[in-house]
Amino acid sequence: MIYLYLVATVLIFLAARKLLSPIKSPLANPLLASILFFIGLFSFTPLVYQDYATANLPFIWLLEPAVVALAIPLFCQIPQIKKKFKIIIISCFLGVFIAISTCISIALLLTDDKILLLSLLPKSVTSPIAMAVANQVGGLAPLAAAVVIAVGLIGALGGFSLLKLFNITDPQAQGLAMGCSAHAIGTAKAMEVGNEQGAFSSLALVLSGILTAVLAPFFAWFIGIMITI
């Protein structure tokens, strides 16, 4: 019976996408609308969220192959990627380093909860990687996933508007920025904007995940030192 929630998730998302498609606004995001719908549903009815989470486990399992599928648009841009691979690596490294360091610096000003801080480390990578990294460094995987979704939604809603504000119009730069900061949700938005943006966002998503997994233990060590001071 609880697996009706899985069907409901798909139907609500498809309905939101259909209804919101004529609206030309970053806020008209079907994922955001679906999240708000289910928040309201579980807040104002006796339905149990744990049953919903259990029913939707297949979607969690599908996250990893979905990330692998992002290699398809990437393959179409191989010549461009080869020409600029060194720049791409440097850009993604700086993006990951700045994302983690600024997040942790601000969080340390507000809390000394080590588990919370460790869960924030992988905030800018896709959910499967974020959950694995959080478990690796001693954080909470569900909390990391929730933060990732929030960050991705913010990036998808305002990322391209912010890039436009700063006159960043190169599609490759736009894609790298979205993939590095807003992971899979930002990449989905980049694919809507253009194939080139989508391909470079996919590349940034993958590279950011690898770099975050490498850098996270060093930042976890830093957090441990800062909390004990």
Predicted confidence (pLDDT) per residue in 137-181, tens digit: 888 888 888 888 888 888 888 888 899 899 999 998 999 999 898
3-state helix, strand, coil in the chain (%, to 5): 85, 0, 15
Q: Check: CB of residue 124 under 8 Å from CB of residue 208.
A: yes
pTM, rounded to two decimals: 0.78
**pLDDT in the model for residue 11:** 92
How far is residue 29's CA from residue 16's CA, in Å, rounded to a whole number?
Answer: 8
Q: Quickly tell me which residue has 């930002």 as its tokens.
A: 186
Task: State the CB neighbour count (10 A cutoff) for residue 196.
Answer: 18
- Residue 86's contacts (CB-CB under 8 Å, 6 or more residues apart) are none
Give me the residues of the chain with pLDDT under 50, please.
none
**pLDDT in the model for residue 186:** 86
How far is residue 205's CA from residue 185's CA, in Å, rounded to a whole number?
Answer: 10
